[in-house]
Amino acid sequence: MAVKKKNVIVNFFTKDWDKRDIIEKLGLAGFYVIATYGTYQGIKYIIAWNKARKIKEEIATAESIDPPTYTPIQYDIYAQGLHTAMEWADDEEAIRTINKQLLNNTDVLKVIESYQNLFDSDLATDYNTDLDRDDFWNGDEIEKYVNKPLRANGVTIQF
């Protein structure tokens, strides 16, 4: 009996498309959609996990040079503030104010980590999406509101 079930499954995937009825076509299409989506989510998870692992390694290295300035909750607050500042309309001054508070590379890495954990999004990607590199009125917004305040504090991490 188990051999017959195996043949049914093998036949389901090897049967010519033209010989299938509508239910079989829909079932096979649904299977491929679900398998593709599952593969996409798996790859997305692996990439996020790898990125989080690299950030943790960078934080460990940075902490040996510069200890964190704030508590973990404060980094979450900064990450939330950055997200809110970029969410609807860009509040560049809020972004600049938060970046002025980050005093070393460890602080920046901890905000990046908090941002990733809270919003499942990459801070650098969001900066590049929401702030312009060549704004007609403001020039390079990332340089003006992110990199310049960080450099003023001696931070070497740039976006």
Q: Which domains does the chain have, with CATH numbers?
A: 41-152 (1.10.220.10)
User: How does DSSP classify residue 1?
Assistant: -
The answer, as to whether pTM is greater than 0.85, is no
Q: Give the integer Cα–Cα distance in Å for 146 and 70.
A: 19
- Burial pattern 81-99, b for ≥16 Cβ within 10 A else e, equals bbbebbeeebbbeebbebb
Q: Give the integer Cα–Cα distance in Å for 36 and 137.
A: 44
User: What is the chain's length?
Assistant: 159
Query: Is residue 109 a contact partner of residue 62, using CB atoms and an 8 Å limit?
Result: yes
Query: Is residue 113 a contact partner of residue 56, using CB atoms and an 8 Å limit?
Result: yes
Q: How many CB atoms lie within 10 A of CB 112?
A: 22
Q: How many CB atoms lie within 10 A of CB 104?
A: 21
Residue-level pLDDT at 88: 79
Residue-level pLDDT at 100: 97
Tens digits of pLDDT across the chain (159 residues) = 455 556 777 777 788 888 888 998 898 899 999 999 999 999 988 988 898 899 999 999 999 999 999 999 999 999 999 999 998 777 899 999 999 999 999 999 999 999 999 999 999 999 988 888 777 666 789 999 999 999 999 999 999
